[in-house]
C-alpha cells in the first residue's frame, strides 16, 4: 500500500524528558519488594510487570478487556489459569490466551485513519451498524483505536497495535491535545468561547480547559476551532450545546502532534518508527 503524499508531519520539535536536578534524591524502592521483583533483581532480569500490562503491550486487548478475560478463565500460564491481573511476569513466555500461546510483542505501530461519518468506533455492534473495521483496508495488523469518535464525527482517528500506548494516550493526565473543527447552527461570540478556557460544569460534569476560536460565519452557521486535553464523552458537542449551538458537522483535525492534513477519507497511513519514538519521548509519565 503506497501512502498518499503529505499525509503526516510533526508539529514543532520533539523534546526528550527533562533530566533530574543535580543532587536530587531518588525515591527509594520498597523495603520488602514483591518476590518476583526480588528474584528478577537478583538474576539481573528485567523489572517484572503485571500480566495485564504485558498483554496489552503485546496488542492482545486493552487492560480492562484483559481483566475480563482473566475473570472468564481465558488466560493461563503453563496450563494453570491466571486468577488476578496483578500477576507479575518479566515476559510472556508460556502465557496462553484462548488456548493459543502468545507471541513476543512486536514494536509498537501507529496508524492515522481518516474516519468517515457513519461508522462506529468499535469492533462489533449488537445492532449490526457499520464500524470502522468494516472500512479499514485489508492487510492491517490487529489495531485498537486511541480514543473514540461518535458515529457522525469524522476526521483523524489514531490506531495502534499496543494496548499500553493506547491507554497512555487516552489518559487526561498525559495531557495530549485534541483539536476539532465544528460547524454549528446558532449564534455565539468570541468572548463566550474564550470563557471556556476556565472550564465549565454541565449537568454535574466538569469539563477542563478548552481553547476555542470563532473561525468564520456562513449564514446561520459558524465554524469553530476547539482544542482540549480531556476528551470526555461527547465533550465538544455538549459544550457547544451548552452555549446554545446545534452541531451539524464535527471533524477531529489533530491528536497530539499527528494531523489529518490532506489524508483522503477512508485512507490509512502508518507513522514512521523514528517519528513515533520521538513523540513518545515527549509524553508525560
Dist. CA 188–CA 51, nearest whole Å: 50
Assess contact for 98 and 81: CB atoms under 8 A: no
Task: Choose the catalytic residue: 45, 103, 125, 150.
Answer: 150
The 3-state DSSP class for residue 96 equals strand
- For residue 42, the surrounding DSSP H or E stretch is helix 35-43
> Is the CB of residue 133 less than 8 Å from the CB of residue 123?
yes
45 is catalytic: no
Q: How far apart are the first and last CA of the chain?
A: 34
C-alpha to C-alpha distance for 121 and 138, rounded to whole angstroms? 17
Question: In terms of Cα–Cα distance, which of 161, 121, 164 is closest to 252?
Answer: 121
- Closest by CA to 162, choosing from 232, 63, 283, 281, is 63
Torsion of CA 254, 5, 120, 60, to 10 degrees: -90
Sign of CA dihedral 25, 31, 37, 41: positive
Q: Report the catalytic residues.
A: 150
Amino acid at each position: 500500500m503506497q501512502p498518499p503524499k503529505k499525509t503526516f508531519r510533526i508539529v514543532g520539535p520533539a523534546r526528550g524528558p527533562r533530566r533530574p536536578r543535580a543532587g536530587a534524591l531518588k525515591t527509594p524502592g520498597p523495603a520488602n519488594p514483591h518476590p518476583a521483583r526480588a528474584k528478577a533483581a537478583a538474576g539481573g532480569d528485567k523489572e517484572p510487570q503485571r500480566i495485564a500490562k504485558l498483554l496489552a503491550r503485546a496488542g492482545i486487548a486493552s487492560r480492562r478487556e484483559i481483566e475480563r478475560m482473566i475473570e472468564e478463565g481465558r488466560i493461563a500460564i503453563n496450563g494453570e489459569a491466571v486468577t488476578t491481573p496483578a500477576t507479575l511476569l518479566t515476559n510472556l513466555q508460556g502465557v496462553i490466551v484462548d488456548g493459543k500461546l502468545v507471541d513476543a510483542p512486536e514494536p509498537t505501530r501507529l496508524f492515522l485513519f481518516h474516519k468517515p461519518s457513519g461508522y462506529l468506533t468499535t469492533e462489533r455492534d449488537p445492532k449490526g451498524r457499520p464500524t470502522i473495521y468494516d472500512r479499514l483496508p485489508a492487510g492491517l495488523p490487529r489495531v485498537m483505536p486511541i480514543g473514540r469518535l461518535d458515529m457522525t464525527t469524522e476526521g483523524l482517528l489514531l490506531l495502534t497495535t499496543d494496548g499500553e500506548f493506547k491507554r497512555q494516550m487516552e489518559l487526561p493526565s498525559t495531557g495530549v491535545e485534541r483539536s476539532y473543527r465544528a460547524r454549528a447552527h446558532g449564534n455565539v461570540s468570541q468572548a463566550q468561547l474564550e470563557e471556556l478556557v476556565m472550564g465549565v460544569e454541565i449537568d454535574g460534569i466538569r469539563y477542563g480547559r478548552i481553547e476555542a476560536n470563532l473561525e468564520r460565519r456562513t449564514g446561520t452557521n459558524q465554524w469553530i476551532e476547539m482544542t482540549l486535553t480531556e476528551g470526555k464523552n461527547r465533550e465538544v458537542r455538549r459544550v457547544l450545546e451548552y452555549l446554545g449551538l446545534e452541531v451539524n458537522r464535527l471533524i477531529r483535525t489533530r491528536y497530539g502532534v499527528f494531523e489529518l492534513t490532506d489524508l483522503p477519507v477512508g485512507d490509512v497511513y502508518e507513522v514512521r518508527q523514528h517519528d513515533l519514538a520521538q513523540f513518545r519521548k515527549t509524553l508525560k509519565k
